Structure 1
Amino acid sequence: MKPEVYPLLAAMGFVVTMVGFQLSRNLVLNPDVRINKNKRLMGVLENGEEGEKYAEHGLRRFLRTRPPEVMPTLNSFFSSSSSDQK
C-alpha cells in the first residue's frame, strides 16, 4: 500500500467509528427509537423525563460551563488592540 493512502484511511476510519458510535447510541439510548414490538404498539410516548435524560447528557452539561471558543488564547491575542497588548 502506498504511504499517501494512510491519511485517507485514518480519516475514513475515524468517520466510520463516529458513525458507528452515533448509530449504536441512537439504537440503545434514544427514546424515539423503538425496536421492541410492544413499545412500537404504544404509539406516542409521553415520557418527557427519558427524553430530557437523553438530550442533556454529560458532555453537553460539561460544555455548557465552558466558554464557546475553540482557542481562547489565540482569540484574545488577535481580538485585542495594540494598546491592550503592551
Structure 2
Amino acid sequence: MNHIQVYPLMAAMTFVTSLCVFQLTRNVFLNPDVRVNKAHRRMAVLENEEEGEKYAEHGLRKFLRTRPPEIMPTINHFFSNSQEDK
C-alpha cells in the first residue's frame, strides 16, 4: 500500500481543523456576546459596550486600517504604471 498519497490530504485537514479549533476557542474566551458564567446568562442585555469595542477594534484591525488596501503593492504599481513613467 502506498500511503504517500494521503499525506497532503491529512496536512490540509489538520490545518483546517486547527483553524476551526482556534476560532471557536477565541470566540469562547474573548467574544463579549458569549455568556459562560451564570451571572451574565441571567441578564437579557449585557452592559459591556467597552468590552465589545475592545473586541471589535483589536490591534490587527487598527494596524491594517493604516495600510493601503493592496495585496501586492509592488506588482500592482509595476503593471499599473505606463512604460513612459519608467
Q: TM-score range by the shorter chain?
A: 0.7 to 0.9
SS in 2 for 1:51: helix
Question: Residue 37 of structure 1 corresponds to which residue in structure 2?
Answer: 38
Identity of aligned residues (%): 68
- Residues of 2 paired with 1:40 and 1:28: CA distance? 15
Question: Residue 18 of structure 2 corresponds to which residue in structure 1?
Answer: 17
Q: TM-score, normalised by structure 1?
A: 0.86
CA-based RMSD = 1.4
- Residues of 2 paired with 1:76 and 1:5: CA distance? 41
The letter for the 2-side match of 1:59 is L
SS in 1 for 2:35: coil
Question: Residue 62 of structure 2 corresponds to which residue in structure 1?
Answer: 61
Question: Residue 74 of structure 1 corresponds to which residue in structure 2?
Answer: 75
- Residues of 2 paired with 1:77 and 1:20: CA distance? 40
Q: Tell me by how many angstroms 1:47 deviates.
A: 1.5
- Residues of 1 paired with 2:61 and 2:47: CA distance? 23
Q: Tell me by how many angstroms 1:7 deviates.
A: 2.4
Question: Residue 49 of structure 1 corresponds to which residue in structure 2?
Answer: 50
Would you identify which runs of 4 or more consecutive aligned residues in structure 1 move more than 3 Å? none
Residue-pair matches, total: 85
- Residues of 2 paired with 1:80 and 1:62: CA distance? 27
SS in 1 for 2:47: coil
Q: TM-score, normalised by structure 2?
A: 0.86
Structure 2 gap segments, 5+ residues each: none
Structure 1 gap segments, 5+ residues each: none
- Residues of 2 paired with 1:82 and 1:5: CA distance? 48
